[in-house]
Amino acid sequence: MGNVTFNKVSKRYETNKSYALKDFNLQVEDGELIVVVGPSGSGKSTLLELICGFETLTSGDILIDGQSIQDKHPKDRDVAMVFQNYALLPHLTVYDNIAFGMKIRKESKKVIEEKVTWAAKLLELESYLKVKPKKLSGGQRQRVALARAMVRKPKLFLMDEPLSNLDAKLRDNMSQEIKKLHEALHATMLYVTHDQIEAMTMADRIVILNKGEIQQVGSPSEIYQEP
Ligand code: ADP
Ligand code: ADP
């Protein structure tokens, strides 16, 4: 579950002359970790925003498990997004940040507690559940954001430069952790970054994007082989 088909996907914002994405074709397999690499403005965020419904397609189609996203309301698409700026709620505890979506969906207290406990354990956040985000380091905040995405048990994770605000060493650790997490969750991941090292560390396959078009697709060794 969680395979994605991009079928000649194009997006042009009304205010712009040029396309943010142009004829993007890709088949993402169940459970695959795809890293999309490209410079700022190459269309990476647009790609994720089309899937989660923040933006609408200009032409083409995106299928998740064979179903067009245009037939599904964004909240029924079974995807979870993780952002660069964490987007945590500052006045809520870590526990309540992780639980936030489940509370809105009126899941039972018991289920909420089980899922928060499960995610906190996997991400080593157990001792921080009662504190507010401002007491946490950048790396810890990003773990909370990951936990909040995980408790939805989505079949597809969308990650938009989740590590860009972290220093280089932490980024390296976290990218290996996200890879492990991906293996533990058996979910599909679409991860965008401008950082080639991150892509090499994590990806099953890398997609190089430039000015809205795919330049190259392949495994890390195919893409970054020595000449
Ligand atoms: P990236 O994530 O790789 O930095 P984006 O998807 O954010 O790229 O942007 C791709 C192109 O679309 C850029 O030229 C950008 O200026 C433009 N763009 C992105 N969002 C909007 C928007 N809401 N309105 C108009 N143009 C936009
Ligand atoms: P409410 O749903 O009214 O916000 P709860 O009774 O669910 O309150 O929880 C009260 C507070 O205790 C929450 O704000 C949360 O931070 C904390 N909390 C609840 N369960 C746990 C738990 N298992 N571990 C740590 N903190 C918890």
> pLDDT grade, residue 226 (50/70/90)?
low
Residue of minimum CA distance from atom 11 in ligand 1: 20
The alpha carbon of 102 and the centre of ligand 2 are apart by a number of angstroms equal to 13
User: What is the number of alpha carbons within 13 Å of residue 163 lying toward its C-beta?
Assistant: 23
Pick left, alpha or beta for residue 132 (phi over 0 → left; psi -120 to 50 → alpha; otherwise beta).
beta
Question: What would the mean pLDDT of 30-38 be, rounded to a whole number?
Answer: 97
DSSP 137: -
**Residue 159's pLDDT is what?**
95
Residues 6+ apart with CB under 8 A from 191: 33, 34, 35, 36, 157, 159, 162, 178, 202, 203
Instruction: Read off the tokens for 227.
Output: 């000449």
Return the best residue to mutate from 93, 117, 126, 135 for the ligand 2 pocket (most ligand atoms within 8 A of CB): 93
- Residue 209 reports pLDDT greater than 70: yes
**Residue 227's pLDDT is what?**
62
The alpha carbon of 101 and the centre of ligand 2 are apart by a number of angstroms equal to 14
Q: What is the pLDDT of residues 62-83, one digit of tens each?
A: 999 999 999 999 988 899 999 8
> CA 180 to CA 201: how far, in whole Å?
11
Q: Does ligand 2 have an atom closer than 6 angstroms to the CB of 91? A: no
- Residue 27 reports pLDDT greater than 70: yes
Higher pLDDT, 112 or 171: 112
ipTM entry: 0.73
The alpha carbon of 12 and the centre of ligand 2 are apart by a number of angstroms equal to 44
**Residue 190's pLDDT is what?**
98
Residue of minimum CA distance from atom 26 in ligand 1: 13
The alpha carbon of 179 and the centre of ligand 2 are apart by a number of angstroms equal to 30
DSSP 92: S
> CA 142 to CA 162: how far, in whole Å?
7
> pLDDT grade, residue 87 (50/70/90)?
confident
> CA 210 to CA 43: how far, in whole Å?
8
User: Does pTM top 0.90 for this prediction?
Assistant: no
Average pLDDT, the chain: 94
- Residue 85 reports pLDDT greater than 90: no
- Please give all residues whose beta carbon lies within 6 A of any atom in ligand 1, as ranges: 13, 15-16, 20, 38, 40-46
- Residue 58 reports pLDDT greater than 70: yes
Instruction: Read off the tokens for 15.
Output: 């205010």
Q: Does ligand 2 have an atom closer than 6 angstroms to the CB of 93? A: yes
Q: What are the two backbone dihedrals, phi and then psi, of residue 152, each rounded to the nearest 5 degrees?
A: -80, -10
